[in-house]
Amino acid sequence: MARRHVVRRPWFHRHVARFAVLVAGLLALVAVAPDAAAIPAFARQTHTPCTACHVGGFGPQLTPFGRQFKLLGYTLKAGNQTDVPLSLMLVETYTKTLKAQTSPPANGFDDNNNTELQQASVFLAGRITDHLGVMAQATYSQNGGLLGWDNSDLRYARSASWGSHSTVWGISLNNNPSVTDVFNAAPAWQFPYMAPDLAPGAPAAPILMGGLAGQVLGLNAYMQVDGALYMEAGGYRSLSPAFLRDVNADFSGRLAGVAPYARLAYTWNLAAGSVHAGAFAFHAARGLPGTNAQGDAVATAGPTDKFTDLGVDAGYQLFAGSDHIVNINGLYLTERQRLDATYPIGGASNLHDSLRALNLNASYWYRNTWGITLEEFANDGSRDLALYGNNGSPDTRGGVVELNWNPFGKSDSWEQPFANVRFGLQYTWYTRFSGLVTNIDGAGRRASDNDTLYLYAWLAL
């Protein structure tokens, strides 16, 4: 979910009513779809436990079956149920930084030791027809007090074969570049999968790492050949500021034309797991937003900032019997920027800037119940005093350790597959923040003062 730090308003704000109309329209489409066989969740649709698709019973880490399910457009099914495919998710959290922040991180919260209903989501997720499926999410957050749309992916998929070769191909209509990735290893699905929104985070990251989430609409075509070679290409266009206000999404400027996205990956299937390696590319030209008389963000004409993102990733997955699962993933992303809109108005010190992001993580799960994940991250780039302040460096480095307990989600779990719970204990530490170790904000804070203890209870029904 793209995190929004906005002025708190009642959740029944007028935009929520308009958003409800959109949801109702989508539900109506499902209700009248021919041959619909939709039920409240993917697990109930396939008559399998959540661990069939997800490591630990929760996303977004996918098993080989989970990858295939996504590749085939969420349409695999068992039985003949015809219920509307709805699912619910609640996430309650506690966040504590090593040292209290200089001011509360959002309206209605303290400068430390905050509890929050971080997410309350409803999913429209499952098969619509034989070849059409959907995963669409709407989320309410106590931080901001708004209900808005979240990651959404509508897919049409088919399979074919010729000679000794087989292929799966499809088309995706979605609202977040890289959310389509079947490996769930691209920027939209990076660890940590649940993270605090009331603690400081990296001051800068490439635009592909959530910079356009929920603000665009994309159409992507994809194909996987012989279960090994995966290819995807498509483009994204900005949604109107008025529509984004209706669905309570951010608007950070309109894209000029179509922003192309491409993904290429190859999988080597092993006796007890798999290895994949891939690359992706994205280019966007985005203007700066303006405001109207009511203070709402609007699109403006004029020069645009250009962003070119290139990345590589790799992953290893091991299933040692039914008891032990190991996942190792790595992502490296570079971004070249030409700030034709920001530089002339003094928003940047350089016309040309760059960013780099590295994410390495490894997880181990025992019986899909007890898990531990370790991560190292590093965001760096060119110095730009006007853009980043302080000493002008976006250099932020550190690590994360997370412990998990998933009591449900297995085939023999209580009320399977209706009741699914994950408890998480996460600690994030920083060795450098905004290019500094000491006095990172001019108020005497150290990088380590932003170290964050984060606990969450994640319930899915």
pLDDT in tens, 394-435: 999 999 999 999 987 777 766 666 778 899 999 999 999 999
Question: Of residues 456 and 50, which shows the higher confidence score?
Answer: 456
Q: How confident is the model at residue 2 (pLDDT cuts 50, 70, 90)?
A: very low
CA 206/CA 309 separation, integer angstroms: 7
CB-based contacts of 317, cutoff 8 Å, min separation 6: 63, 64, 273, 274, 275, 325, 326, 327, 328
Placement of tokens 């989508």 in the chain? 26
Q: How confident is the model at residue 82 (pLDDT cuts 50, 70, 90)?
A: low
* Domain spans in the chain, listed from the N-terminal domain onward: 14-460
Q: What is the mean pLDDT of residues 287-298?
A: 83
Placement of tokens 């019986």 in the chain? 367
CA 377/CA 86 separation, integer angstroms: 35
Model confidence at 43: pLDDT above 70 = yes
CB-based contacts of 73, cutoff 8 Å, min separation 6: 131, 132, 133, 155, 156, 157, 170
Q: What is the mean pLDDT of residues 278-298?
A: 89
* Mean pLDDT over each residue of the chain, to the nearest integer: 87
Q: How confident is the model at residue 11 (pLDDT cuts 50, 70, 90)?
A: very low
Which CATH number among 1.10.357.10, 2.40.160.10, 2.40.50.140, 2.60.120.10 corresponds to the domain 14-460?
2.40.160.10
| pTM, 2 dp | 0.87
Question: Of residues 262 and 201, which shows the higher confidence score?
Answer: 262
Instruction: Give 318: exposed, middle or buried? Use CB within 10 Å, 0-12, 13-18, 19+.
Output: middle
Percent of the chain with pLDDT over 70: 89
Residue 430 amino acid letter: Y
Q: What is the mean pLDDT of residues 137-150?
A: 92
Q: How confident is the model at residue 393 (pLDDT cuts 50, 70, 90)?
A: very high
Four-residue CA torsion sign, 202, 204, 209, 210: positive
